[in-house]
Structures are given as structure tokens and as C-alpha cells.
Amino acid sequence: MAKHQNVQKYKYYKIEDGKVIRLKKTCPRCGPGVFMAEHLNRYSCGRCGYTEWKKPEKKK
Ligand SMILES: [Zn+2]
């Protein structure tokens, strides 16, 4: 029996005060809709292989 294969994209977003907030980082190469996987110190796109390093946070 085939099950529904709905990709719940909306789970990557949340609505707060009427604004859409992205919970995941999207790939600048593939465009919005392609989300990047988060690693400890970088993000990587599973589609094109783009890697973006996290910037060290400045603490005040
Ligand atoms: Zn990509």
C-alpha cells in the first residue's frame, strides 16, 4: 500500500508575529527551497556541495 509522500516543507518555517521565519539556512547557489544541512562549524548543501563556514560569534 502506497503511503502519502507529502514533503512537509512548512516545517522549515514558522510564523511569528505575522512574519515568516526560516528555521533553516538555504543554499545561495540552488536558491530558496534548497536547505543546507547544519554541521558543528559549517553548513553544507547536499545538492551542489556548497559549503559555508560559520562565522565565529562575537560575544560582548
Ligand atoms: Zn546547493
Whether residue 55 is contained in a domain is answered as yes
Segment-wise mean pLDDT, segments of 10 residues, the chain, 60 residues = 62 80 86 88 94 82
Q: Is residue 3 part of a domain?
A: no
Residue 17 resides in a domain:
no
From the number of C-beta atoms within 10 Å of its C-beta (0-12, 13-18, 19+), residue 27 rates as: buried
30 among annotated binding-site residues? yes
11 in a structural domain: no
* Domain membership flag for residue 38: yes
| φ/ψ bin of 25: left (φ > 0), alpha (ψ from -120 to 50), beta (otherwise) | beta
Which amino acid, 35? Answer: F
Quote the number of domains for the chain: 1
Tell me the one-letter amino acid at 14: K
Q: Is residue 58 part of a domain?
A: yes
pLDDT at 30: 95
Task: Determine the structural domain holding residue 59 and report its residue range.
Answer: 33-60
Q: Judge whether 5 is annotated as a binding position.
A: no
Identify the pLDDT of residue 28: 93
Tell whether 2 is covered by a domain: no
Residue 53 is predicted with a pLDDT of 93
Residues with CB under 5 A from ligand 1 (ion): 27, 29-30, 45, 47-48, 50
9, with CB counted inside 10 A (0-12, 13-18, 19+), is exposed
